[in-house]
Structure 1
């Protein structure tokens, strides 16, 4: 069930579609609310935040308050680490922010999981899922929830950077030739280099050359990584 979520979020074409996929994934995972934030650091000037969420309207001001983020122990953890944090009331109490937890708990934010991906060139992606009920007591089940969220974040972060970050801050995407894209597209369908060459009317050696060129441009070490990254960047559908 979740596997389809990974593919769907890769294919989101705009902010609304991305938000829809993120919310659907969170609910399938068993969480009522979710937020996803892109962060772009600037050498000079303020850091830029762009977020999507499905928080209650009455709580949106608190979520979007940058001063609150500076006090929130979950956000401070994600700012410094890539290790996911499983949080509840004790997380806030131990940080001296018990009143912050009480304020958000009224809106269903009683416990959850949050993580951040820190990427080159000052790009960051934070995703958190929250709910009113306690997490499962079975450690294996909680580990699975964390792993599913981590895997979803890996798929979602490139889409987030593509559809949430303003165009002026977008990093340049690799430019692949039509032949290189076709080679990756057929590879995505499970075709071997020989089959790709036969379909495209070129030799197997030339098909391998196109695939290798695409891998090099995408900075990937194998063709499967190249296909996944091309999907994330929106180069393939």
Structure 2
């Protein structure tokens, strides 16, 4: 695995190398995802997770965007740090209807037997690698038991490689497109403690216009106050908290 990654020049080549190494162990598909936001917005809502895949069946992504926030394998990553079998997630009686619909959607494409390795990162962010077998005649139990530890190490080597080689920015991620540029600007100044009259002077707009932009931002963020809106925007990654409050 390390040797294959050593020759890679970008993220896509690294993902090819991961797929090739996983194939040697009997897996038929792999995926990698990186979350740059805090994954859980609140108790019921999750930030979307964009999957970067190899050898997935044609058409699988057609309506997957509807399920990105409801992927139960994604949610299960925050119950521990070790690899887990998808079968354990599928049989979880606590899954809601949307989570069941998500795993069944993948299963309809033959993507029902897999394992996931969560990679937890600082500030609540994370990455994830999954390895899947779509061959109906394959002995999944043996593949999982024999390669659980191997895939764990491969996943961490893969993630560390793309991070240290500077390929992380090439990974497709899901970013929220919530606020308009003016709403973002007004809320950003509010986050730095500016009042509406002060923001109006800075942006050369009327006070009422500034208040309208902040009100619209509050509505989009489902926030009750501007302070609440700022906190949620930072949590979602819409505003960069480290820069705002440095």
TM range (shorter): 0.5 to 0.7
Note the C-alpha offset of 1:81: 2.5
14, 17, 20: which is aligned to 2:16? 20
Q: Distance in 1 between matches of 2:107 and 2:47?
A: 28
Give the C-alpha shift of residue 135 in structure 1.
4.4
* 1:103-129 Cα deviation digits (max 9, x unpaired): 222312021000111122454220001
Give the match for residue 196 of structure 1: none
Counterpart of 1:129?
131
User: Which 5+ residue runs of structure 2 have no aligned equivalent?
Assistant: 172-246
Residue number in structure 2 paired with 1:174 = none
1:198-236 Cα offsets, whole Å, 9 max, x none, are: xxxxxxxxxxxxxxxxxxxxxxxxxxxxxxxxxxxxxxx
The one of 157, 163, 169 equivalent to 2:167 is 163
1:90 and 1:126, CA in 2 relative to 1: closer, same or farther beyond 3 A? closer
> Do the aligned residues in 1 keep the contact of 2:48 with 2:68 (CA within 8 Å)?
no
Q: How many angstroms apart in 2 are the aligned matches of 1:32 and 1:166?
A: 23
Aligned counterpart, 1:57: 58
Structure 1 unmatched runs, 5+: 168-237
Matched-pair contact (CA < 8 Å) for 2:73–2:89: no
Aligned-residue CA RMSD (Å): 3.2
Divergent runs of 4+, >6 A: 45-48
Q: Distance in 1 between matches of 2:87 and 2:63?
A: 18
Give the alignment's TM-score, normalised by structure 1: 0.55
- 2:60 and 2:109 in contact (8 A); partners too: yes
TM score, norm. by length of structure 2: 0.53
Decide whether the 8 Å contact of 1:50 with 1:164 is kept in 2. no
* Pairs aligned (count): 158
